[in-house]
Amino acid sequence: MRVSASAPPPQAPRRRTVEVVIPAKNEAAALPAVIRGVLALPEVERVLVIDDGSVDGSAEVAARLGAEVVSQPYSKGNGAAIKRGALAARSDYVLFMDADGQHDPADIPRLLDKLEAGYDMVVGARSGLSSQASIFRWGANGIYNRIASWMVGQKIDDLTSGFRMVDRKKFLGFLYLLPNGFSYPTTSTMAFFRTGYSVGFVPITVRKREGKSHINLWRDGLRFFLIIFKIGTLYSPLKVYFPVAVLVAGAGMLNYLLSMLSTGALRFTNMSTLLVLAGMIVFLMGLLSEQLTNLQYKNVEFEPE
């Protein structure tokens, strides 16, 4: 009588680990709590602190606490630090977070769960006025989210959050698009949507930051308007240009009708002609921008799910 050996029970798939990239500029006071919280998580394989030209000993503090430090010789900007960290990372998944203590490391497993469920980028979505630095920034973020949601046809809970986890290989395909400044979250989110990757959102509560913010209200107020236009340029320029073209050309036609009713002459005035031609030019600019945007993404290697 032959006894058959029982088959070993199937093993559960191994949970992937994540590397954490923390851009830091003069954050020596906040870094200890951030790094300790991150390193305490079993899901974290490595912590990379990108020292963006700090002069307060941030690099030394991070190294002493067990993080690997990549130092920039001078400050190049938050986006430049993010790009340096993405290139230095080795894992399949990378999480980006701020060094000022606003982001809770305990939220990292929730973002990892979402990413492993089939998403290519997962964003920690801030909720409520209490998680914003000011009413101005809260209002600006709300406008960003609404415009971006309209552009992509999907609800975007937080376009500008710096707490996000990505599939590193796919993220590397967009490094050439990312600016060196603070708008890398906007650019990366819209780029992922534009290429057809899956973007998910996980609600988080942001704590009060340690130290002084590097964001200036007046300087970044101008950046607010530039980002509005950049959202359209990154995703579908024609969605922005076409309504403007219709509005301008429509104003020209309205001017023509009013002139006709007042004078009885069936001819275009100089103002009517100028407005109609301007509307046509704006439309053609939008059409050209749409084609250029398509070419901008042609070299991105799309990895189907």
Half-sphere exposure of 243 (CA within 13 A, CB side): 6
State residue 214's pLDDT score.
Answer: 52
Q: What are the domain boundaries of the chain?
A: 18-234, 237-296
Structure tokens at 46: 């490595």
- Check if the beta carbon of residue 136 is closer than 8 Å to that of residue 217: yes
Fold of 18-234: Spore Coat Polysaccharide Biosynthesis Protein SpsA; Chain A (3.90.550)
State residue 268's pLDDT score.
Answer: 80
State residue 134's pLDDT score.
Answer: 58
pLDDT tens for the chain, 305 residues long, are: 454 455 555 555 566 789 999 999 999 999 999 999 999 999 999 999 999 999 999 999 999 999 999 999 999 999 999 999 999 999 999 999 999 999 999 999 999 999 999 999 999 998 765 454 556 677 778 888 888 888 888 899 999 899 999 999 999 999 988 888 878 899 899 989 988 899 999 999 888 766 555 555 555 556 766 777 777 777 788 888 999 999 999 999 998 898 888 887 777 888 999 999 999 999 999 899 888 877 766 655 544 44
State residue 176's pLDDT score.
Answer: 87
| DSSP letters for the chain | -PPPPPPPPPPPPPPPPEEEEEEESS-TTTHHHHHHHHHT-TTEEEEEEEEES-SSSHHHHHHHTT-EEEEESS---HHHHHHHHHHH--SSEEEE--SSS-S-GGGHHHHHHHHHTT-SEEEEEE-SGGGSS-HHHHHHHHHHHHHHHHHHTS--S-SS-S-EEEEHHHHHTTGGG--SSTTHHHHHHHHHHHHT--EEEEEE-PPPPSS--S--HHHHHHHHHHHHHHHHHHH-HHHHHHHHHHHHHHHHHHHHHHHHHHH---S--HHHHHHHHHHHHHHHHHHHHHHHHHHHTTTS-----
